[in-house]
Amino acid sequence: MSDTSYPAPSQVDDKTTIAAPPPPPQPFTSESSIADATVSLQDSPAPTAQQAQQQQPAPETLESKPAPNPKTANGFAKASPSSAPARTRLKRDNSTPNMNGPLYMQTSGNKTVLVRRLKRKEESTWKHLARWFVENQIGLSFNLLALIFLAQTFIPKAREHTYKFFNLSYYNPKSGQYRIGFDDAYFIAFCIILFTGLRAGIMEHVLAPIGRLQGITSRKSLTRFSEQAWLMVYYTVFWPWGVYIYCTSPHYMSMKNLWTDWPNRELDGLMKGYLLCQWAFWLQQMIVINIEERRKDHWQMFTHHIVTTALIYSCYAYHHTRVGNFILVIMDVVDLFLPLAKCLKYSGFTKLCDVMFGLFVVSWFIARHVLYIMVCWSIYSDVPQIMPVGCFKGTNDNLIGPIDPPAGYSYLLDPFLKPDGLVCYNETIQWAFLAPLLFLQVITIGWFTMIVRVIIKVLKGGDAEDVRSDDEGGDEEEEEDEFVYEEAQPLEEEVGVEELDLRNWERRSGVRKQASSSGVSLPGHSDRKELLGRIGCEKQVD
């Protein structure tokens, strides 16, 4: 039987994929099979060059060739337009090809080879930095804390500084209490690093596995479950701490006692540690909401965190720690019920979620719209009657005052710049505290209107679902990876003629040329031709 050769495939346009060479034909096992193959080849004469040119695909789209069918007599399926589905049309610009598309594409003239790669998302430098920080929170926090501990242990000269990270500063042995000052920033920084590492570690290694055990499979739902569970863990520790301070203090169940004994420029260690930890937590929350995926009410939350942080700092610097403790207690009680309700929702306990949501609504209204308003009213009515008008300076041991405030408004910043400098009270300072508290109340009223909508939805038979900040602004669907085709960069190396080894590619790739007993020769599909075609030299081979 004489060899029958197929014509070389015509050149494709700039956007046509190069299909992988078909598998070699299987050897025939009988003479009848050989006869059938001979008849098949004779009945199907090779197309002429003009016919091959007419069959060239259009330059604007990409059409895939039919896949080989090993069941035919000669080892190749006959082209059938109805049975061979066309591959998704691809473009080389900004289209999103399917991941199952060809790994390589070749342009017209075999001059350029395109390779499929994961699409690089266009992100700003800040987003790259934020993504890196989110992915490395545990390691970064652990390394920083380990560095501080090692410096404290093995570098004696550094202990005067590293000691401040782990201990409260400005202890007065005479009174057994603490003053305030700039060295408190060391302890705050330590708490921020600690909260960052604890949050990421507990969410990833403790809370996320618990969520999976509850049947949560969605990546976003699992992340939300872990975030809310972390808040529940935090407030389970700090709300009882704040309640204990409030119940054992002179201002327990008395609004007027919030303002007595002012200015007391020292506070006990339990109160100082509580306020500094809370301050560090809200600073860390400001970082979190800006490096992670933004929610629908990002700016409301960011504004809330700024106002909360500023109020904690102001009450600490102006020695209004009693009212600071009371406000934190009545605000934090709400955050015990809300995270629990959300965790129940993600876990599928709808009825329990509705019950917990009802407790959340009751606690929200009482704490943030009754007790909170009572504090604001006390600032307006009780403070002018109890607190002395004027300025004080010095420590508790040598306190001087009251004296008249200086001209201008620079004295308002003195408590922030000089811990033992001027600290004053007058009507201006009264409204400087009352205004941001009322602004915070406006934000909570806005959130409460959203909560009322959820209540109406539940009363109509729906499920309780917090609409404030559960999701991002986009859809809930998972983002799929996108792929594009890019020009493959050739690997060039200068070698001598004697060092050329075309069989080396065959050995490295594991491709072996299979023998065929059918006598059918397929020029243009040898291993050598395939290799030269990949590097752009196929046109030069006869």
| Three-class HEC string of 239-283 | HHHHHHHHHCCCCCCCCHHHCCCCCCCCECHHHHHHHHHHHHHHH
DSSP state of 539: G
Q: What is the pLDDT, as a whole number, of residue 501?
A: 60
pLDDT at 354: 86
Q: For helices 298-317 and 269-291, what crossing angle results, to 10°?
A: 160
Residue type at position 82: S
Q: In this structure, are strands 483-487 and 423-425 parallel, antiparallel, or unpaired? A: unpaired
Rounded to whole angstroms, the Cα distance separating 306 from 301 reads 9
Rounded Cα–Cα distance for residues 403 and 385 (Å): 18
- The CA-atom distances, in angstroms, between 190 and each of 180, 219, 234, 331, 525 are 17, 31, 17, 24, 67
Tell me what pLDDT residue 391 has.
Answer: 93
Query: SS3 of 493, please?
Result: coil
The strand pairing partners of 484, in sequence order, are 117
Question: What pLDDT score was predicted for residue 278?
Answer: 96
Closest CA to 433 of 530, 352, 313: 313
What pLDDT, on a 0 to 100 scale, did the predictor assign at position 125?
Answer: 80
pLDDT (0 to 100) of residue 300 = 82
Rounded Cα distance between 361 and 8, Å, is 76
C-alpha 197, offset from chain centre: 15
The β-bridge partners of 172 are 177
**What per-residue confidence (pLDDT) applies to 122?**
64
Q: Where are the domains of the chain?
A: 31-119+481-540, 167-459
pLDDT of residue 111: 65
pLDDT mean for each 10 residues of the chain (542 residues): 44 44 47 42 46 47 44 44 42 45 64 65 74 88 95 92 93 93 95 95 94 90 93 95 95 92 92 96 92 81 90 93 95 92 91 90 94 95 92 89 87 90 92 92 91 84 58 45 63 62 55 47 49 49 42
What's the rounded Cα separation, in Å, for the pair 289 and 209?
23
Q: What's residue 362's pLDDT?
A: 93
- Residue 126: its pLDDT value, please? 76
Under 8 Å between Cβ of 442 and 433: no
